[in-house]
Copies of this chain bind each other. A is one copy, B any other.
Amino acid sequence: MADTNVSPVMHDAEHYILEVQHRERWAAEDKDIDTRLEALRKEHGGAPNIIHIMWDDTAFGDIGIPALAAIRGFETPNLDRMRDEGIMFTRLYSENACTPSRAAVITGRHPVRTGMGIVDWPLGFGGLRGDEVTTAEVLSGEGYATAFYSKWHLGDIEESWPHFHGFDEAFFLPYNQVSSIWNPVGDVANIAPGSAHMRKDNVHELDEHGLRPDGMVMVIDGKKSEYSREWGAPDVETYSKVDAESEQRMMAFIDKNAADEKPFFVSYWPNMLGFIPSQEPKATLNAGGLAESLKRLDGFIGELMDKLTELGIAENTLLVCMADNGPMIHNPPSLLGMIDTIFRGGKGDFLEGGVRVPGFAWWPGTIAPGQFVNDIVHEVDLFTTFARVGGGTGNIPTDRVIDGVDQTSMLFNGDGYSRRDYVFIYSGDQLGATVKGRYKRHWITEGQDTGTSPVFFDLITDPRESMAQLVPLIWSSGQFDRMLARHLLWKERYPDHEKGRGVPFTGIENARPETLAIGDTLEQLRKELPFDPLEFIGFTMPDEFRASLRTDGVD
C-alpha cells in the first residue's frame, strides 16, 4: 500500500481504493491545478483568501430553489446569487448536529475520532483537544491572517477555543444559543419556563451547582497568545448583539488584510439572531425563527460579496456557505419553523435529512458560474481542500486519519470531479449508515438499537429513504461489508481519541467571581467528596446508555 505515489496525508482506508483506480487521472488534474493556483498567486500577489460561513439547522431545499422559496415563504437572493455565479451542492454531507459538524469541518476528521461526536452542553468540562489541528493552524503556517466569529460550540475549556487553535482573532460562543436564555437573569422564563430553575428560591432543589451553571460565560473575546475576555453578560440582550458585532469585526478584519495584502481565512458561524424570542415585526411570510435568521444572514452575505468585489479581491477569494446539519425537527421546533423539506429526517438523524445540507461555493473567475455539483462531498473535505488552496497541505499532521479528501479538482473542474463516491455517517459515536454511489445501507435500524437488520435504500429513486430495497442489497452487500471492515480496521490501527477534559473558563482576564468559583468549587469538592469529581469529567457513558445520545435535536 505504502508507495511513493500515495498522498502523505493519511486518509481513511476507503480513499485508497479509489486512489489506486484514479491515480493517473488525479495526478494530471493536480498538475493542472498547481499551474492554475500558481497563476492566480502571480496575478493577485498572494494566496487566495478563504471565507467559510456555516449556519444552523437548515433543510436541503430551503435555500437556492426558487419554487421552494415561494412555497416556504422566504427568499435568500444572495445565496441564490452564489448559486448563479458558482456552485450549488446537491450532495454535500455534514455531520448530524452542531458540535460534531463544527469539529468535523475545522479538523477534517469525523468527530468520532476526536471525541466530539456528541453535542457539547453547558457545563461540559471539555471540548476540542489541544492536539487536534484546525484549518486555522494549517493556514497560519502559510502566513494567513485568521479570524473566527460567533458560534464555535466546541467546548468550554481553554485548549478548545479558537484562539488556542490557530485563529489570531476569536469572538465566539463556547456553547450554543441556549446559553443565552438559560441564565440567572431569567429574562425569557415566561416563554422558556424551564429556564426559571436558574433561580435559587426553590427550596426543593438542594444542589447549588449541578443544574445551575451561573458562572457560565456566553461570549468570549480572544486574541491569540494575548487574552481571553468575557464579552457582555449571558443574557438575551448580549445574544442579540453577537452577530452584528461579529459582522462588524469581520468586515474590519477583511478591510485590514486586504489593505495589508495579506491572505486571510475567516470562519463565521453565526448565532442566528432569529432563534431567540423577539417581539420584532417579522420580515418574511414564513416568519419562523429559521426563515427570519436566514433572511438576515443572506443580506450580510450579499454585503460581503459586494465588499469583496469593491476591494478588488473577489477573484482571489473562495467563499463557501453552508448549513451545519439538517433541521431541528425533533425536540419541538415549531417556534423556529424548521421542517424537513426534501430528505426525510433532521438534526441528530443519520437519514439524509440529518446530514445532507444546502451549500454553495463562489470564487469568480475560478469556479465556473451556474453549476450544480451532484457529486458526493463531505464537509471534512473542506479541511483538506482549504489546505490545498492555501498551499498548506504540508502542514496537515500525518500521524492521524484525515477523513477529508482534496476536492480542489471539483471546485476547478465541476461536477464529476469529486474524489469520493462514499461517505460514512455517524450518529454520536455509532456508525449509522454508509453511502456508496446511489445506495445507502443503514447499520442502525430505525426503532431498534442494534444493527441486526440493516436496511438498504436507492437514493435516486427513493431520496427520502422510505422504501427498503432487497434486490440491490443482495447485489452490493459484500461491497458494503468490505467498506465497513476496512473502516473498522483503520479505526483499530488508529483508535479514536477522547475529547479534551478540564476545568471550564480558565484564563479569562475579567472572569466574574461565579465563573472563578467553578474551578474553586471543584477543588473544594475534591477535598470533601469521597471520590474525585474530576474522574466524573473523564466519565464515558457505557454503550447501553448511548442510544439516548443519538438524536440530540437541540443544537
In the complex, 10 of the A-B residue pairs with CB atoms within 8 angstroms, ordered by the A residue number, are: A65-B67, A71-B342, A71-B463, A73-B438, A73-B460, A73-B461, A334-B462, A339-B462, A339-B463, A341-B463
Q: Check if A364 is an interface residue, CB within 8 A of chain B.
A: no
**Of the candidates B71, B288, B339, B461, which one forms a contact with A339 in the assembled complex, judged by CB atoms under 8 Å apart?**
B461
Given contacts A70-B372, A337-B461, 13 further A-B contacts (CB under 8 A): A61-B342, A65-B65, A65-B68, A67-B372, A68-B342, A70-B90, A71-B342, A71-B374, A72-B461, A285-B460, A291-B461, A339-B464, A341-B342
Which B residue's beta carbon lies closest to that of A67?
B90
Q: How far is the CA of A462 from the CA of B285 in the complex (A)?
A: 13
Residue A409 interfacial (CB < 8 Å): no
User: For residues 63 through 99 of chain A, which have their beta carbon under 8 Å from a beta carbon of chain B?
Assistant: 64-68, 70-73, 88, 90-91
Nearest-neighbor residue (CB-CB) of A89 within chain B: B67
Q: Is A230 an interface residue (CB 8 A)?
A: no
Q: Which of B67, B291, B372 contacts A64 (CB 8 A)?
A: B67
Verify A66–B372 contact, CB threshold 8 A. Answer: yes
Cβ-defined contact, B461 with A286, below 8 A: yes
CB of A515 within 8 Å of the partner chain: no
Q: Distance (Å) between the CB of A476 and the closest chain B CB?
A: 16
Q: List residues of chain B with CB within 8 A of the CB of A192.
A: none
Which residues of the other chain, B, contact A340 by a CB distance below 8 angstroms? 464, 466
Contacts of A339 in B (CB 8 A): 461-464, 466-467
Chain A 389-433 against B: per-residue CB contact (8 Å), 1 yes, 0 no?
Answer: 000000000000000000000000000000000000000000000
Interface centre among A70, A287, A337 (most CB of B within 10 A): A70
Asked if residues A460 and B71 are in contact (CB atoms below 8 Å), the reply is: yes
**Min CB distance, A192 to chain B, in Å?**
17
Q: Of residues A71, A73, A462, which shows the largest number of chain B Cβ atoms within 10 Å of its Cβ?
A: A71
- Chain A, interface SS category: loop
Given the complex of chains A and B, what is the CA–CA distance between A462 and B339 in angstroms?
6
A183 to chain B, nearest CB (A): 27
> Which listed residue (B67, B91, B342, B464) contacts A88, Cβ 8 A?
B67
Partner of A342, one of B287, B342, B374, B462: B342
Instruction: Give residues of chain A (445-477) contacting chain B, Cβ–Cβ below 8 Å.
Output: 459-464, 466-467, 469
Nearest Cβ on chain B to A498's Cβ, whole angstroms: 38
Q: Say whether A460 contacts B372, CB under 8 Å.
A: no
Give the Cβ gap from A364 to chain B, nearest Cβ, in Å.
21
Instruction: Give 1 or 0 for each of A310-346: 1 = CB within 8 Å of chain B CB.
Output: 0000000000000000000100001001011110000
- As for how many copies of this chain the complex holds, the number is 2
Q: How does the 8 Å CB contact mask read for A37-71 relative to B, with 1 for contact and 0 for none?
A: 00000000000000000000000010011111011
Task: Please state if B65 and A90 are interface contacts (CB–CB under 8 Å).
Answer: no
Partner of A334, one of B337, B459, B460, B467: B467
> Which B residues are in CB contact (< 8 Å) with A466?
329, 339-340
Which B residues are CB-close (under 8 A) to A329?
466
**How near does chain B come to A238, taking the closest CB pair, in angstroms?**
28
Residue in chain B with minimal CB distance to A461: B337
- Best-buried of A72, A342, A372, A464 by chain B (most CB within 10 Å): A342
Residues of chain B with a CB closer than 8 A to A291's CB: 461
Closest B residue to A70 by beta carbon equals: B374
- Pairwise interchain contact B72-A463, C-beta atoms closer than 8 A: yes
Query: In the complex, A313→B319 CA distance in Å?
Result: 47
Q: Contacts of A65 on B, CB cut-off 8 Å?
A: 65, 67-68
Q: How far is the CB of A346 from chain B (nearest CB, A)?
A: 11
Assess whether B64 is in contact with A90, with CB atoms less than 8 Å apart: no
Q: Kindly report which residue of chain B lies nearest to residue A333, judged by CB atoms.
A: B467
Q: Is the CB of A288 within 8 A of B461?
A: yes
Chain B residues with Cβ below 8 Å from A88 are 67
Contacts of A286 in B (CB 8 A): 460-461
Q: Which residue of B lies closest to A288 (CB)?
A: B461
Question: Contacts of A70 on B, CB cut-off 8 Å?
Answer: 90, 372, 374
User: CB-CB < 8 A to A91: which residues of B?
Assistant: 71
Contact with B along A265-288 (1 / 0, CB 8 A): 000000000000000000001111
Q: Name the interface residues of A250-300: CB closer than 8 Å to any CB of B.
A: 285-288, 291
- In angstroms, Cα B61 to Cα A464, docked, is 13
Query: What is the CA–CA distance of A72 and B339 in the complex, to the nearest angstrom?
Result: 21
Chain B neighbourhood of A438, CB < 8 A: 73, 285
Q: Which residue of B lies closest to A83 (CB)?
A: B67
Closest B residue to A338 by CB, please name it: B461
Taking the closest CB of chain B, its distance from the CB of A288, in whole angstroms, is 5
Q: Kindly list the 5 A-B residue pairs having the minimum CB-CB distance in the complex, ordered from nearest.
A: A337-B461, A70-B374, A73-B460, A70-B90, A70-B372
Q: Can you name the residue of chain B whose Cβ is closest to the Cβ of A463?
A: B71
Q: Complex formed: what's the CA distance from A462 to B469 in Å? A: 29
Chain B residue at minimum C-beta to C-beta distance from A372: B70
